[in-house]
Chains A and B, each alone.
Chain A
């Protein structure tokens, strides 16, 4: 079956530090990959996505590249801010048999705290 593994958290950084949150996956079909973010007290929001190998998703200064050879989709940001403090979830949808829908399979989430 499909699965997503994220680096263990929590991650604590100082403002302007470089962020990497590792994510690897296994999938039965050809997956599309996502990063979702959950800010304190809020619902899940899509942060970025990538649909095929070597695609780079980007949003709000965050980037992630779909690496098929290493089955990875690591999230990076060059300079984090206090407002980036949140829980980050890596996820995939695996499309098989010609279907164009799919349930999201999530990683366990990584708590990020950024201090001033």
Chain B
């Protein structure tokens, strides 16, 4: 079936504007993750969803960042009042947890965000 998809693939925005990034996980995958890949910080975890709830938001860098997931499927990451340091590639991953087993996270192609 289809893999994880993300949109847009590229986004250029002016400092201070809000942006929304979208992730469509693999069908049936209950777990969804957002990560950020930047030159200075490498790959960082942002937030984890199980179903529609987010038991781990520990990686969100500030209260300008928020995310939601609806219907146990699509997720949106919103960045308000963007700053230049928000420029990065935002990656989404999904997986199907099996109790007691480590499970693979499948990554989307990412959204490259550039804040000017």
User: Chain A interface (Cβ within 8 Å of chain B)?
Assistant: 32, 36, 42-46, 49, 51, 89, 91, 93, 95, 100-101, 103-109
Contacts and interface: CB of A to CB of B under 8 A. Distances in A.
Contact of A46 (B99, B101, B104): B104
Contacts of A95: 102
Contacts of B106: 46
A26 to B, nearest CB: 16
Interface stretch (B40-48, B61-69, B71-79): B40-48
Contact of B42 (A100, A101, A106): A106
B102 A43 contact: no
Interface residues of B, number: 27
Interface of B: 31, 33, 35, 42-45, 48, 50, 56, 59, 91, 93, 97-110
Contacts of A36: 107
For A45, A106, A107, the residue with the greatest tally of chain B CB atoms inside 10 Å of its CB is A106
Nearest to B92: A43
Contact of A43 (B42, B101, B108): B108
A49 B110 contact: no
Among A32, A46, A93, A100, the most chain B Cβ lie within 10 Å of the Cβ of: A100
A36 B95 CA distance: 15
